[in-house]
Amino acid sequence: MAAKPDLAAKSDRDIVALARAGEEPAYRELIRRYERPIFSLLYRMVRDRELAEDLAQETFVKALNAIESYRPEFKFSSWIFKIANNAAIDHLRRRELDTLSLEGSPHAETPDAIEATALQIGARQESPLDAVEARELGGQIEVAIARLRPEYRSCILLRHVEGRAYEEIAEILGLPLGTVKTYIHRARNELRQALAHLRE
C-alpha cells in the first residue's frame, strides 16, 4: 500500500488539487490551516463568538463546495479571506452592528451567553504579571480595533495581524490599492490616537 502523503508539507495549491480529486483529508487540511486565521478575522469583525463561528462555517462550506471553480493562479488564502470578509461585511450591513461589544454580544440575554460571546483577551500569556500587562495592552488595542469602521478594521487586521501585502489586501477586499493604503494609514492614525495614553 502506498504511504499516505504528508499533507502538512504540501503547498496550498497541491492540497487544493488533491481536494479537487475528491480526497477528503485534503479538505480537512485546508480547514486545519485556515480555521484560526479566518475565525480570528471574523471574531474581530463581528465581536460575537457564536456568530463568528457560524460565519466561519459558512465561509468554509462555501469555499470548499466551490473548490472546482477556484482558479489556481490566485492564492487560496486570498480567495478564502475574500469569502470571509464578504460574509462579515454582509452581516454588518444587515445588522448595522457597529457598536462596541467587548463585554459580549448585544443579542446575548443570559449571563452564560454574555460570557460565551465576550471577546477573550490575553489568552496565550504565561506568567500572571505578563498576563495582567498583556490583558491591559491587548484589551486596549482590541477595544480600539473594535471602534474602527468595518472597512478600516478589515484592512488593519489583514495587514498587521495576518501580515498580508497591500496588493493582496486590495485583491481580497476588491478595492483599489490606493484606497487600501489610505484606509490602513487612517486606521493606524485612529489606533495611535486611541492608544496614546498608554505611551505616556
Q: Give me the residues that bind another protein (CB under 8 A), please.
A: 20-24, 27-28, 31-32, 35-37, 39-40, 43, 52-53, 56-57, 60-61, 64-65, 120, 122-124, 137-138, 141-142, 156, 160-161, 163, 181-182, 185, 188, 191-192, 195-196, 199
Phi, psi of 32 (to 5 degrees): -60, -40
Task: Please give the full DSSP string across 88-104, using - where no structure is assigned.
Answer: HHHHHHHHT--S--TT-
Going by C-alpha positions, the residue among 175, 164, 157 that lies closest to residue 75 is: 164
Of the pair 66, 93, the CB lying nearest another protein is at 66
- In whole angstroms, what is the distance from residue 13 CA to residue 122 CA? 34
CB of 92 to another protein, least distance (A): 18
Of the pair 96, 126, the CB lying nearest another protein is at 126
Rg (CA), the chain: 18
Contact 146, 138 (CB under 8 A): no
CB of 73 to another protein, least distance (A): 21
Of the pair 97, 148, the CB lying nearest another protein is at 148
